[in-house]
Structure 1
Amino acid sequence: MTSVYEINTWPWLAELGKQSLADVPGEVWDELIGFDAVWLMGVWERSPAGRAIAESNDGLRQEMKNALPDLSGKDIVGSPYCVRRYEVDQRLGGPDALKEARAQLKKRNLRLILDYVPNHVAPDHPAITEHPDWFINGTREDLENDPDSWFAAGDRVIARGKDPFFPPWPDVAQLNAFHPGLRQATLDTLKAITDQCDGVRCDMAMLMFNDIFARTWGDRTGPRPAEEFWPSIIAALPDKTFIAEAYWDTEWELQQQGFDLCYDKRLYDRLAHEDADAVRAHLTAGLDYQNKLIRFIENHDEPRAATAIPGDRGRAAAVAIATLPGATLWHDGQFDGRRVKLPVFLGRYPDEPVDEGLRDFYDRLVVFNDAREWRLLDTPDVLAWTWEGATTRHLIVINFGPDQIWTRVRLPWPSAGEQWRLTDLLDGRVFGRDGDELEAGGLVVGLPAWGFHVLEVHR
């Protein structure tokens, strides 16, 4: 299992009182020991044109004001997904500062993950003028009829970036996934990015599928390629980890196209809104699929977990993702119970009190990082699974519901004639059980609403 810690780089540095990644104190990097990788979100050069659009957009400005009531102009630094150049922003210290940060992470056995945005770039990206054919092009009539979807770039009309289900994003230009020059430029850019890191998180990766791209843009794309966008690109960078932001049940196809990990957004939705049966059904998928999912209950795109999945339900959800197969994604501020979802345009966090009880819970939460055999148990009313290693056994039981419950859990290990000891790794309680009774009737478990056990099993 891989655990990734996401940092929103600009406001994180501001909160540390630092202006460069090279100046982060060693003790701050030390706090990340125990994770496998750190995703420094938003290190690339942000667009002045994109920033101006954000400042002048009433809806975006109100969203920023809601997050920072004392908002000032200097807080608006531009979107990290409106990339002007894939060079480390000088306001974060530039390439040398990132090199130093990576060295500090490597000293602590931490890998570095950076972003790539395949679908769009900033409206002032150099390619707009140097390679306008890499973009979806329109006509003056398009611009006159629908200025929210198109913008003028010299003698060209360029589409604003979008996905097929929402209005265009106002601050970005739409790349043409079918253009062979764009595909080669993507590979060249990713080679340069991966020279600076150990893996890449690819934004909205499924937008580049041939079918999805053709449905979104129709005959404006030019000839449809015979090959999909991702396979040859990923194959050319075999030693790097590729993480796909994935929606619309495209995870399996992204895995087949070469991605090492894909967002498990469906599990997030079920943990936030559905019941134990829905979660259990989700977990019956094959391990060849589940082992390449990255689970989360918070990231920079979602509402803060403290508000979206509050209280005991949120803790039960956190226990689930921490003990499932696949990878886990954790978000800076999640462990402290931050409640304000920060718009990506902002370079400063609001002041928020730390939820000490939640912080203590996360300090005790066990994440299984070593290779083990995972098994989902067919147990009514609760979520239950086991991990087994060469010398260790663990049982996880979660009452993912609002009512107290009693049930029996059938352990997958022979138990007759043994005395069993089960230690809860979250609260230290120890339970002794007779193996003959376990063999005959299973382990009797009683849990309060949203209660859980993470049990180390000995005999």
Structure 2
Amino acid sequence: MTAVYELDTWPWLTGLSRRYGRTVTLGDVPGEVWDELRGLDAVWLMGVWERSPAGLAIASANEGLQREFRNALPDLSEKDDIVGSPYCVRRYEVDERLGGQSGLRTAREELRNRGLKLILDYVPNHVAPDHPAITEYPDWFINGTPDDLKSDPTGWFEAGDRVIAHGRDPYFPPWPDVAQLNAFHPGLRKATVETLKSIAEQCDGVRVDMAMLFFNDIFVRTWGDRAGPKPAQEFWPEVIKALPDGFLLIAEAYWDTEWTLQQQGFHYCYDKRLYDRLAHESADAVRAHLRADRGYQDRLIRFTENHDEPRAATAFGPRNRAAAVAVATLPGATLWHDGQFEGRRVKLPVFLGRYPDEQPDNELKAFCEKLSRLKVNTGEWQLLDTHDVLAWTWQNDGKRHLVVVNYADGPARTRVRAPWWSDEKPQWRLTDLLDGRVFDRDGRELADAGLFVDLPAWGFHVLEVE
């Protein structure tokens, strides 16, 4: 798998409904729309599960969220546009308003017919406050006391005769619309396996929300004695070994937990560290990051945008295309986000079911579509020893590619030494796969001095070398 495309399912379907002048659900997306995704490897339909009425009520009453909603959608309709959080899951059943179970089956078949895998969400840490398990299996949750509720009403809520914790991580205040599951409870671990097995019948893989929160040590740091005795076995190895072979697991990962998650069985982990370096740091910091072991890098998923991050056109500014070239041509997988290609600038809160109207950047769209479908990052990869630019090579089945990125705000004129330059070949032809330019270069000059590149600020080449 190389390229994953994230669709924010609800606003995406709303946009299609407006485009076609009728209600579009997962079961009747026009074939031409699915055709637009050809050439990618997988589609992540973010937010298909049943959303919580209780969570929606909490979000609708939250003044801070209301400000966010109106900043994103100045013409917000509270009745029509606020649909609830996709990470406040009431049941792992496809929301009927999106097309239900039959609609998802149709969508999966359409994707499969085009050679695309289907990725869905799984949220291990928490569920909606009206999830059936809260009343049926309250011991699966972090339980408190009436004194806890009295002293910290934002951290706890009443559920029948129980006091249940709101979900959180160790560093931020609780999320008011979700209930905290107990990673240490054996019943919860068994239920997780059964839920994931059910999901595995409906798709080819899952993106696991905040996967590292269920590490034993992180869970103890968050909940202490309230979680009960720490199990001898970590959560994820116990769960993953029970899942079907070939079921793809992508971990949302932070706090330098990527390697551990890979060792515990995840196929890919978010590379948030690379995102931060591309967004805020220099080429030297990016280069240092890329010196990691190849086996580790092959199991990272790189991105410059997703539903949690600001829009790339806003966050990266003039470095947007250069960063995109980097993530698309490095080892591992690449995650693209709906609206990124068109240069959308408004980050939509996940509670909303409609995108604001924005003028698309058609030139950027053509560039990103071409870039996302390049298949250069397979085979033998080598990071080149350069200082003024970022550069790496790929060799696979006799094909050679050279990527050069000037990740700086000024021009770069330098020499790049690739491992294959040789004066035994009198001439080399280099074709830029992004803009079509062709460069013929003398073999002796390349062998002696390397390839001379002259790139503007944030400029780049993706070269096929013959």
What band does the TM-score fall into relative to the shorter chain? over 0.9
Partner of 1:375: 382
Partner of 2:183: 177
Question: Given the two structures, how large is their TM-score scaled by the length of structure 2?
Answer: 0.97
Partner of 2:434: 426
Question: 2:279 is matched with which residue: 267, 272, 276?
Answer: 272
Partner of 2:55: 50
Question: 2:313 is matched with which residue: 306, 313, 316?
Answer: 306
Secondary structure at the counterpart of residue 164 of structure 2: strand
Question: Would the aligned equivalents of 1:21 and 1:98 in 2 still touch at CA under 8 Å?
Answer: yes
Partner of 1:148: 154
Question: 1:386 is matched with which residue: 366, 369, 393?
Answer: 393
Q: Distance in 1 between matches of 2:130 and 2:47?
A: 18
Matches within 5 A, 1:26-425: 26-73=31-78, 74-237=80-243, 238-311=245-318, 313-365=319-371, 367-368=374-375, 371-418=378-425, 419-425=427-433
- State the shift of 1:427 in Å: 1.3
Q: Distance in 2 between matches of 1:93 and 1:397?
A: 45
Matches within 5 A, 1:5-20: 5-17=5-17, 18-20=23-25
Secondary structure at the counterpart of residue 328 of structure 1: strand
Q: Distance in 2 between matches of 1:401 and 1:162?
A: 38
- State the shift of 1:364 in Å: 2.9
Q: Distance in 2 between matches of 1:154 and 1:333?
A: 43
Structure 2: tracts of 5 or more residues without a match: 18-22
Are positions 1:450 and 2:458 aligned together?
Answer: yes
Partner of 2:20: none
Mean CA deviation greater in 175-184 or 417-426: 417-426
CA RMSD of aligned residues (A): 1.0
- Structure 1, residues 308-353: CA drift from partner, whole Å, max 9, x if none? 0123x00000000110010000000000000111101001111111
Q: Distance in 2 between matches of 1:235 and 1:27?
A: 39
- Structure 1, residues 385-440: CA drift from partner, whole Å, max 9, x if none? 00111121010000000111111111101411321111111111111111111111
Q: Distance in 2 between matches of 1:72 and 1:423?
A: 50
Mean CA deviation greater in 411-420 or 239-248: 411-420
Question: Would the aligned equivalents of 2:380 and 2:395 in 1 still touch at CA under 8 Å?
Answer: yes
Structure 1: tracts of 5 or more residues without a match: none
- Structure 1, residues 354-392: CA drift from partner, whole Å, max 9, x if none? 012211221332532673111100111110000111121
Q: Distance in 2 between matches of 1:315 and 1:198?
A: 30
Question: Would the aligned equivalents of 2:412 and 2:454 in 1 still touch at CA under 8 Å?
Answer: yes
Question: Would the aligned equivalents of 1:403 and 1:448 in 2 still touch at CA under 8 Å?
Answer: yes
Question: Would the aligned equivalents of 2:421 and 2:450 in 1 still touch at CA under 8 Å?
Answer: no
Matched-pair identity in % = 72
Mean CA deviation greater in 175-184 or 425-434: 425-434
Question: Given the two structures, how large is their TM-score scaled by the length of structure 1?
Answer: 0.98
Question: Would the aligned equivalents of 1:63 and 1:343 in 2 still touch at CA under 8 Å?
Answer: yes
Question: Would the aligned equivalents of 2:44 and 2:118 in 1 still touch at CA under 8 Å?
Answer: yes
Change (3 A) 1:137 1:200: same
Question: Would the aligned equivalents of 2:329 and 2:376 in 1 still touch at CA under 8 Å?
Answer: no
- Structure 1, residues 186-220: CA drift from partner, whole Å, max 9, x if none? 00000001100000100000000000000000000
Partner of 2:3: 3
Q: Distance in 2 between matches of 1:308 and 1:315?
A: 12
Q: Distance in 1 between matches of 2:421 and 2:118?
A: 43
Question: Would the aligned equivalents of 2:378 and 2:394 in 1 still touch at CA under 8 Å?
Answer: no
Question: Would the aligned equivalents of 1:161 and 1:175 in 2 still touch at CA under 8 Å?
Answer: yes
What amino acid maps onto 2:62 in structure 1? Answer: N
Q: Distance in 1 between matches of 2:421 and 2:172?
A: 54
What amino acid maps onto 2:9 in structure 1? Answer: T
Q: Distance in 1 between matches of 2:363 and 2:42?
A: 26
